[in-house]
Amino acid sequence: MDLDFTDSENAFRQECRAWLEANVPRESLPSGDTREGFALHLQWEHKLFDAGWAAVSWPKQYGGREATLFEWLIFEEEYYRLGAPSRVTQNGIFLLAPTLFEFGTDEQKERILRPMARGDVAWGQAWSEPNAGSDLASLKSTARRVEGGWRLSGQKTWSTRAAFCDMAYGLFRTDPEQTRHRGLTYFMFPLDAEGITVRGVDRLDGDEGFAEIFLEDVFVADTDVIGEVNQGWSVAMATTGSERGLSLRSPGRFVATAARLIDLYHRYRDRSDPVLRDEVIQAWMDAQVYRWFTFQTVTRMVQGESIGPDSSMNKVFWSEMDVRTHETALAIVGEALELDEGSDSAIDGGHWMKGFQFALAGPIYAGTNEIQRNIIAERVLGLPRK
């Protein structure tokens, strides 16, 4: 066991810190979940990519710098410590790309990865359907075989930022004779194709962060199928594993949130009572504990272990920690909590209420925490499914 970073890991930290300190916008950008903010975030992504920071762990040929997993975590720590913009490319970089690396053809990787990481092509996910949420395998959208490709029909929903995206990916039923996990195929499709209608949906915080996608006989070429036809479920599971595990939620952002909470506590200390003080301490400790749990997990991955259903524990922990941390912050903010973004008197620009509303999504997306707990009970503890 060596819980110090190595010299080369420290050098990597210095390198990303220097670049980020020189380049992170001084003023925070408008929300990336609005049309205007999304465009500004994409410009930031171009800048990140051109300097080689958009996808640090990727191979160099696709614009990465072949960073180790620990270096990636270090990058994330520095990124969030400086309050750099949220990553609007994450549905591509962290969800689709791992699937492409594992199942994609060389042609697909060559065509898709660099524009994805630079934000030249923005990707949204299209998993859920109106009647297939937690029970994703009950999805109804279909793909019909035609000359040279497929025709996609159906309805997808809760697609993050899809109202502003160029492309999306999701599962469609290609074998109508099969049910549930069998007979599904993983497709990529352009959101401006003929037969597609995208309708933005305002989220809890009022931003147009969601969208519904309606597909009517949309043509998709064979080259936009990932993996084998009818094997889409197992192809997709590779992505959801990384979504609920490490990829989307490295510890850096929670450590940074805890540091901002402590700063808030100091500024409004006169409002605090011993209970709040304890909650602030607990929030800081939770972030630390999550960080070390992650380092332990990453060591297992580096040693070649597969994490599998253990990643569900991460997801439950960080999502519920994030809600608690924001609840504590709002308790410190007090009655000013209702002052929304754009209100002159809002504390920290209404950031805490905004963050709280965002945090509330955590226990729901990427597989609800109820589903995660079922996975933990059945696949880690071995309890009977029925």
Partner 1 sequence: MRFAFTDDQNMLRDTVREVLQRECVPEVVRAAWEGSPERARAVWDTLAETGVIGMTASEQAGGMAMSELDLVLPLEEAGYAALPGPIVDTVAVGIPLLEAAGTDAQKERWLGPAVAGKARIVVSLGDQSIVAHAVSADVLIAERGGAAYCVPLAEASISVERSVDRARELGRVSFEADTQYQMRQDVDTTALFMLARERAALGTAAQLIGLSRRMLDMAVQYAKDREQFGKPIGAQQAIKHRLANALIEQEFARPTVYRAGWSMATSAPDADINVSLAKIYAGQAAKFVAKEALQVHGAIGYTIECDLHMWMKRAWALAAVHGDEAYHRERVGRHIL
Contact pick of 275, 285, 338, 343 for partner 1 (by CB under 8 A): 285
Interface with partner 1 includes 306 (CB under 8 A)?
A: no
CB 334 within 8 Å of CB 274: no
| Catalytic-labelled residue, pool 77, 129, 212, 243 | 243
Interface with partner 1 includes 221 (CB under 8 A)?
A: no
Distance CA 111, CA 190 (A): 14
Told to judge if 228 belongs to the known catalytic residues of this protein, a careful annotator would answer: no
Q: What are phi and psi of 105, to 5 degrees?
A: -80, 165
Interface with partner 1 includes 324 (CB under 8 A)?
A: no
Tell me how far, at minimum, the Cβ of 381 lies from partner 1, in Å: 5
Interface with partner 1 includes 266 (CB under 8 A)?
A: yes
Long-range contacts of 32-37 (CB under 8 A, 24+ apart): 32/85, 32/86, 32/88, 32/161, 33/161, 33/203, 33/205, 33/207, 33/208, 33/209, 34/207, 34/208, 35/163, 35/164, 35/208
Interface with partner 1 includes 298 (CB under 8 A)?
A: yes
**Which stretch, 50-58, 87-95, 224-232, 284-292, contacts partner 1 (CB under 8 A)?**
284-292
Interface with partner 1 includes 304 (CB under 8 A)?
A: no
Tell me how far, at minimum, the Cβ of 50 lies from partner 1, in Å: 29
Q: What are phi and psi of 18, to 5 degrees?
A: -60, -45
Interface with partner 1 includes 344 (CB under 8 A)?
A: no
Positive or negative: CA dihedral 84, 170, 201, 43: positive
Distance CA 351, CA 334 (A): 14
Distance CA 188, CA 192 (A): 12
Contact pick of 54, 316, 329, 347 for partner 1 (by CB under 8 A): 316
38: which 2 tokens? 């999304």
Binding marks (x or -) toward partner 1, 245..264, rule CB under 8 A? -----------------x--
Contact pick of 176, 304, 342, 384 for partner 1 (by CB under 8 A): 384
**Which stretch, 110-118, 142-150, 203-211, 310-318, contacts partner 1 (CB under 8 A)?**
310-318
Block residue for tokens 């696709």: 62
Number of residues that bind partner 1 (CB under 8 A): 47
CB 294 within 8 Å of CB 250: yes
Contact pick of 22, 177, 270, 303 for partner 1 (by CB under 8 A): 303
What are the residues facing 129 on neighbouring strands?
A: 132
Distance CA 149, CA 69 (A): 37
129: which 2 tokens? 């359907």
CB nearer to partner 1: give 303 or 345: 303
Distance CA 335, CA 158 (A): 32
Residues 348-377 that bind partner 1 (CB under 8 A): 370, 372-374, 376-377
Residues 49-108 that bind partner 1 (CB under 8 A): 70
Interface with partner 1 includes 287 (CB under 8 A)?
A: no
The catalytic site residues sit at 243
Per CB under 8 A, residues contacting partner 1 are 1-6, 9, 70, 262, 265-266, 277-278, 280-282, 284-285, 288-290, 292-293, 295-296, 298-300, 302-303, 313, 316-317, 370, 372-374, 376-378, 380-386
